[in-house]
Amino acid sequence: MGSTLFLYATVCLFGSLVGSFLNVCIHRLPRRESIVWPSSHCPTCNAPIAPYDNLPILSFLFLRGRCRVCRAPISPRYPVVEAVNAAGYGLILWWFGAGWPAAAYAVLFSSLLVITAIDLTHQIIPDVITLPGIPVGLVLAATILPISLLDSVLGLLVGGGLLWFIAWASPYLFGKEGMGGGDIKLLAMVGAFLGWKPTLLTIMVGAMTGSLVGISLLSFKLLRRDQYIPFGPFLAFGALIALFFHQDIFSWYETLMIGAR
């Protein structure tokens, strides 16, 4: 019992530390800045952040959400990302157990978290995450993931190809663009990690969730009809649902189909 708690605590602590680095990526990648140099600094006064002020979650609480030097407010996004990444790593460990597949899924989780945060604030999905993520997913499928390399390749083709077709057909069918290039590359990366069946589930969940949120925002007049809603976060949500629940969902569907015969 004690060793299990220690393992979970260690994994969650590591997740929060990775989350601190993810915040650097979220802030700098849209600005095309290096994620390595310079070291962490206040975006308002550029004062370097001391190591004791860079502790995940805790430093935000100790500083009461303000820079120690200039007292400018610190975005609550920082502790949220750190906490979500820590919780995500703990959930992956609990669901999949300790092992290399869990480590690979942690990489996917963190990538989706960065993509979600950037797409929500800047309406872009950086190629620097998705394009390297595609070959990484293929290599992991060939080595440590519980899917075959063929399934990974099919997932890449289904994910990227299906969204590419939607993007190509939308101007002709609906008179406007349907998908951005970033969404296509994101789903190709997801397909390389998860395989083709979970990728189809990702698209379905992402589309349904995005539609429900969009309709709700329009109904409450929180969104104009000509306003853009980034689709990346919904695809990321769909990918996580597919990661954790695709076997249960497919088993339920097969049972439903057998019962309907």
* Residue-range domain boundaries for the chain: 1-98, 100-261
Phi, psi of 41 (to 5 degrees): -150, 160
Euclidean distance between CA atoms 22 and 16, whole angstroms:
9
Q: Tell me the DSSP string of 25-56.
A: HHHHGGGT--SSSS--B-TTT-PBPPGGG--T
Closest by Cα among 190, 191, 163 to 179: 163
- List, run by run, the mean pLDDT of 10-residue segments along the chain (261 residues): 91 98 97 91 92 95 96 96 99 98 98 98 96 98 97 95 80 66 95 97 96 92 83 97 96 82 64
Helix axes 100-122, 77-96, angle to 10 degrees: 150
CA distance 78 to 85: 11
Cα torsion 92, 84, 138, 179: sign: positive
pLDDT the model gives residue 246? 95
Model pTM above 0.75: yes
pLDDT of the residue at 179: 67
Helix-then-strand count for the chain, H and E: 9, 0
The whole-number pLDDT of residue 163 equals 81
Q: What local confidence, expressed as pLDDT, does residue 176 receive?
A: 62
Rounded Cα gap, residues 60 and 79, in angstroms: 7
